[in-house]
A and B are shown apart, each in its own frame.
Chain A
Amino acid sequence: MEAIVEMKGITKRFPGIIANDNVDLELRKGEILALLGENGAGKSTLMSVLFGFYHQEEGDIFVRGEKVDIYSPNVAYDLGIGMVHQHFQLIDDFTVTENIILGSEPMKGIVVDMEAARQRVRELSEQYKLNVDPDAKIEDISVGMQQRVEILKVLYRQAEIIILDEPTAVLTPQEIDELMGILRNFIKEGKSVILITHKLKEIMMIADRVTVLRRGKMVGTVDIDQTNVDSLAELMVGREVSFEVQKEPAKPKQDVLVVEDLWLKDARGVDVLQGLSLHVRAGEILGIAGVDGNGQRELVEVITRLRKQDKGSVMIDGKDISRYQAHDRHKAKFGHIPEDRQRRGLVLDFTLAENLILEKYNQAPFAKNGVLQPEAIERNAEQLIETFDVRSGEGKASLARTMSGGNQQKAIIAREFDLEPSLMIASQPTRGLDVGAIEYIHKRLIELRDAGAAVLLVSFELDEILNLADRINVIYSGKIVADLDPKETDERELGLYMSGSKEATA
């Protein structure tokens, strides 16, 4: 089979990070190529280069054998390349047809030829069995349908090469099956597909070949016939990159966090937590391993009281906090490193000093009779900046917005550790950080454990879980499906539990 797209030696740098380092990729005509890698491995960057959002610093792109310079998405469309984004770009109160033709409207004189547009959308919908109503409003249709509208947008622009970025992340299992059917129809019609994903089962189900990226580098391309879920997991995670964390064996004591039979429905009415139970003891790190979207976020939100469970209980230090609301958090002694540091963790337009008192601004010595005490606030900032080595342009007076990601995270860690919590909930504490910051954060978490705190670590990085955790619970479909000792397990076994293909009686 001939190659329709070839990317050779692509290198793309962002300040402080090499997102793609000399990556090669080949898409053959009429195949589904999966692009596999962990979060931050550089998959989306590589596809953004192909789609013209970014321009590579080094390397060449060939489409149908000809060298091309894709400097904007319009060039990509002209070459027959279309992309279905992870986050939909639809206008809620426009109809399906209006959304699809936006930017390339068929004209009749000076007016948009809506009838022709509607007809074309209906034809495409039938041809690929998409079952979309051209006149429905976006706000009235399901997420799965909205995704089909995105797909129709690409088809309407006559794309031959279709890139889908994590298309299953937002879909229910039934919708995923239907999407797989749609992709098979594409191939029948002679189109070629690149599927960005980190879900191994889907790749095995649908792809012809898979290219694996790890930390910006290409690890290899393999045929699906000659691989399996286990070896793909190994390729994706990679053993040789695991840097060992120095730590003594844990000496766990009494239970600090006890979660029992948690149930929670999300906005779509799907059970995201299905009777989840776990416990973390003082002096141990419990790692929650799992593929993104299996209830990790909801579990953390329930424990930190940002969300109320439908059923079940949460106890911290023997105290039932099931009825607490977010503003009762100071009553339970826990610290929390949130998954999204810029959204939940910091007020970016506050100074570093203001951010460092975000949870105790109303307590002595920072407040007296309702008035802030600047000296105490500054002294607190100076001391935390020193202890936790937080670096910024203007010290305590720096706006959080101007600080690097690693130092923003250090600021959050400084603030949360300073609460002297008996429980620390760390959600993806090292996401998007460089190696130095990752090591630092790991060291701090172990120190906290050794000081007798319980640590709940949620991470999508298996490396991190295996290195850091004293005990591993695997989460799948809103349940804990395995309780494992890191010394007696490996990525392969974890991968099987994470993908739901193996289930222990936890």
Chain B
Amino acid sequence: MKERHYSHLTISLIAIGLSFIIASVVMLLTGINPLNFFIAIIRTMTGINLRTMDFNPRLIGEFIQISMPMVLSGLAVGFAFRTGLFNIGAEGQVIMGSLGAIVIGILLDLPGLIHLPLAIIVAGIFGGIWASVPGILKAKFGIHEVVITIMLNYTAMYLSAWALKLLPGSDNQKTINLPASALLRSDFLRSITNNSRLHWGFLIVIAALVIYWFVIEKTVFGYELRSVGFNRHASEFAGMKVSSRIIYSMVISGVFAGLAGAMLSLGTFDYGRVLYSFENYGFNGIAVALLGGNTALGILLAGLLYGALQSSQAMMQAQGIPLEIAVIVSGLIILFVAMQHGIRMFLDHRSAKRREAAHVTRAD
């Protein structure tokens, strides 16, 4: 009997559906109307309030703006996954990228044509350097990347908080505002979205998605990365430089995460924030990559979904839905995606039963 093949998309959609159903049950049990939850999500994504039929483009702008770092950190985690590496350190690499962008933004005084690109590039470099540490340790000494990346998350957080406070003019919570020459801010995008925080960063996200797809699927380098990810022994046998591929893969992964950091500090905010807790952009990237099946398109869609869940939290609270519900949904999705083997077994079992039933009917 040939095993039927269910695509990752099917599995992901089932996972999303199941988590919405369970979340609805939770809401019903706690006396909340689940309809309000879905109305809030739709309103977040389309700007349309189904109850009043009001349209507010600011919501769309905010939703896209919040999704952008999610997509980038999803690309970061996904890129490493394709080489068989688990980069839990995207969180720290986002923080380092954010730091790099702010340092360039505040310390240098340059025309916008140079200042902004330089800040973005340095953000990518900071993320890449931060990710190179676990990459090198893995390739040269076989130290597991998960352990190192987790530890480096904390290192990045405290290092960043310390460094930001050293910058001229910083107080204990934040730095001074960045000069306009270093910002992704777009008055045009703001004007068409009723003053949302939407910024030029979306161009970077689109470029990153295309580059990710092209490198992984179309280039010799991507072939090597996928080969190493699937079967290190055969790759070594075929003459690939396995350890250098591991390092490159981590570095590129870190660059994507660093760019996500630039989105935050140059786009969403226009100053550096001294933080002593994680904001989870990097950790959400793990969820986004898993849900998106590590493909560029999948990561884009999954990033938008996670962005919507995050972005709708304020609106839900206004409706009396505790923001934990959105968190429960995000968590359940991952739980079900992780259970994809079980979902496949269930689908196989069901189709086998159907075949059996069909067989019996025919025999009759």
Contacts and interface: CB of A to CB of B under 8 A. Distances in A.
Interface string A339-370: 00001111111100010001101100001001
B187 interface: no
B220 interface: yes
Contacts of A358: 227, 234, 238
A362 B220 contact: yes
Contacts of A359: 238-239
Contacts of A370: 219-221
Nearest to A343: B233
Interface in B205-227: 218-224, 226-227
A358 B237 CA distance: 9
Contacts of B234: 343-347, 358
Contacts of B226: 350
Interface in B334-349: none
B220 A361 contact: yes
B220 A326 contact: no
B84 to A, nearest CB: 11
A338 interface: yes
A370 B231 CA distance: 21
B286 to A, nearest CB: 21
Contacts of B222: 372
Range for the number of chain B residues in contact with chain A: 20 to 34
Contact of A349 (B218, B230, B239): B230
A239 interface: no
B235 interface: yes
B240 interface: yes
Contact of B240 (A327, A344, A367): A327
B350 interface: no
B233 A344 contact: yes
B1 to A, nearest CB: 11
A404 to B, nearest CB: 13
| Max chain B C-beta neighbours (<10 A), residue from A304, A327, A367 | A327
B86 to A, nearest CB: 17
Nearest to A331: B239
The residue in B221, B233, B234 that gathers the most chain A C-beta atoms within 10 A of its C-beta is B234
Contacts of B230: 347-350
Nearest to A336: B237
B237 A344 contact: yes
Interface in B231-262: 231, 233-241
A468 B259 CA distance: 60
A431 interface: no
Contacts of B227: 347, 350, 358
Contacts of A354: 223
Max chain A C-beta neighbours (<10 A), residue from B219, B223, B236: B223
A343 to B, nearest CB: 5
Contacts of B218: 371-372
B238 A343 contact: no
Contacts of A361: 220, 223-224
B8 to A, nearest CB: 13
Interface residues of A, number: 26
Contact of B231 (A306, A327, A329, A343): A343
A129 interface: no
Contacts of A367: 220
Contacts of B219: 370-372
A74 B234 CA distance: 38
A18 B223 CA distance: 39
A326 B223 contact: no
A330 interface: yes
A58 interface: no
Given A348-B230, A348-B231, A350-B226, A338 B220 contact: no
Contacts of A345: 234, 237
A113 to B, nearest CB: 35
A290 B230 CA distance: 33
A330 B239 CA distance: 7
A328 interface: yes
Contacts of A371: 218-220
Interface in A129-160: none
A190 to B, nearest CB: 46
A347 B239 contact: no
A323 B227 CA distance: 25
B205 to A, nearest CB: 23
Interface string A305-344: 0100000000000000000001111100000101000011
Contact of A326 (B221, B231, B239): B239
A327 B243 CA distance: 11
Contacts of A362: 220, 224
A370 B219 CA distance: 6
Nearest to A415: B238
Interface centre among A304, A343, A345, A358 (most CB of B within 10 A): A358
Q: Which of B218, B220, B236 has the most CB of A within 10 A?
A: B220
Nearest to B228: A347
A244 to B, nearest CB: 33
A304 B239 CA distance: 10
A15 B221 CA distance: 38
A496 B222 CA distance: 52
Given A345-B234, A350-B230, A327 B239 contact: yes
B63 to A, nearest CB: 35
Contacts of A326: 236-237, 239
A347 to B, nearest CB: 5
A452 B335 CA distance: 59
B360 to A, nearest CB: 26
A358 B241 CA distance: 13
Nearest to B217: A372
Interface centre among A346, A347, A348 (most CB of B within 10 A): A347
A47 B206 CA distance: 59
Contacts of B220: 361-362, 367, 370-372
A287 to B, nearest CB: 23
A306 B227 CA distance: 17
Contacts of B233: 343-344
Contacts of B221: 370
Nearest to A328: B239
A345 B112 CA distance: 53
B356 to A, nearest CB: 21
B247 to A, nearest CB: 15
Nearest to A367: B220
A325 B237 CA distance: 10
Contacts of A304: 237
A349 B229 CA distance: 10
Contacts of A344: 233-234, 237
A367 B223 CA distance: 11
Contacts of B241: 327
A174 B222 CA distance: 49
A189 B221 CA distance: 63
A238 to B, nearest CB: 34
Given A370-B220, A372-B220, A306 B235 contact: no
B223 A338 contact: no
Q: Please give me the 4 A-B residue pairs with the lowest Cβ-Cβ distance, nearest first.
A: A358-B238, A349-B230, A344-B237, A329-B239
Given A304-B237, A336-B237, A372-B223, 17 more contacts: A327-B240, A330-B239, A345-B237, A346-B234, A347-B227, A347-B230, A347-B235, A348-B230, A350-B227, A350-B230, A358-B234, A361-B223, A361-B224, A367-B220, A370-B219, A372-B218, A372-B222
Interface of A: 304, 306, 326-330, 336, 338, 343-350, 354, 358-359, 361-362, 367, 370-372
26 contacts: A304-B237, A306-B236, A306-B237, A326-B237, A326-B239, A327-B240, A328-B239, A336-B237, A343-B233, A343-B234, A344-B237, A346-B231, A347-B227, A347-B234, A347-B235, A349-B230, A350-B230, A358-B227, A358-B234, A359-B239, A362-B220, A367-B220, A370-B219, A371-B219, A371-B220, A372-B220
